[in-house]
Structure 1
């Protein structure tokens, strides 16, 4: 996903600042999905991989669930998935990656198609 500010469940933002950031993340995810020409999926599992800043304390990747939610909503806006309900989506599941050596934290999405049973 594009580099920029991320939402964390530990932040205490004014509701309008949170709204603007959520809207931007959602739009970036939609544009990224469209520009990559990703196939349309009926069902998928989504993993979000946190690439943290290099600091010594431990991280809980689940704290970035608000960013993952905005990104998934953007995938739905792009038409990659019909909806983000349990009929079409498993997750998003958090994972950790090694720290990035420059800049701030970032998130990668891993989207895995799940075969739908034939009727």
Structure 2
């Protein structure tokens, strides 16, 4: 079974359900995240089906809504489709878990996106 974890040095989600930005600005960021994921995953094998997890590592206990990084998760999943790792990001090909926010004292805030093949 194939598993790959990608690490991103974002200290906060590049896209969030709480951000209020112009649609063109949001589209630019979506494209950047998709392109980054595509470039990172282009050497992965075709998995057919996979499950994905996004974990945001934070160094403090401030309140954060678990669903805010969902927009970032969506763009990363679209990047996997762009890289032809899976045919589509529908449930038939990809199981998406709710993003997780994990407190790790003293860590450098970052994101980890894990892709695991489903047989």
Tell me, yes or no, if the aligned pair for 2:60 and 2:103 is still in contact at 8 Å: no
8 A contact 1:48–1:110 mirrored in 2? yes
Instruction: Quote the RMSD (CA, aligned, Å).
Output: 1.9
Q: CA deviation at 1:56?
A: 3.9
The count of corresponding residues between Structure 1 and Structure 2 is 110
What corresponds to 2:57 in structure 1? 51
Of 13, 34, 38, the match for 1:26:
34
Deviations 1:31-52 (A, max 9, x none): 0112xx2221111111111123
> Following TM superposition, where does structure 1 have runs of at least 4 consecutive aligned residues deviating by more than 3 angstroms?
98-102
Deviation readout 1:68-116 (Å, 9 max, x if unpaired)? 10010001000111111111011143122335744xx53211112111x
2:111 corresponds to 1:111: no
Unaligned 5+ runs, structure 2 = 1-6
More contact order relative to length (CA 8 Å, sep ≥ 6): 2
Equivalent in the alignment of 1:81: 86
- 1:12 equivalent among 13, 20, 24: 20
TM-score, reference length from structure 1: 0.81
Answer 1 or 2: which has greater helix percent: 1
TM-score (norm 2): 0.81
Q: State the match for 1:97 in structure 2.
A: 102
Q: Does the alignment pair 1:3 with 2:23?
A: no
| Residue segments in structure 1 that go unaligned for 5+ positions in a row | none
Match of 2:68 in 1: 63
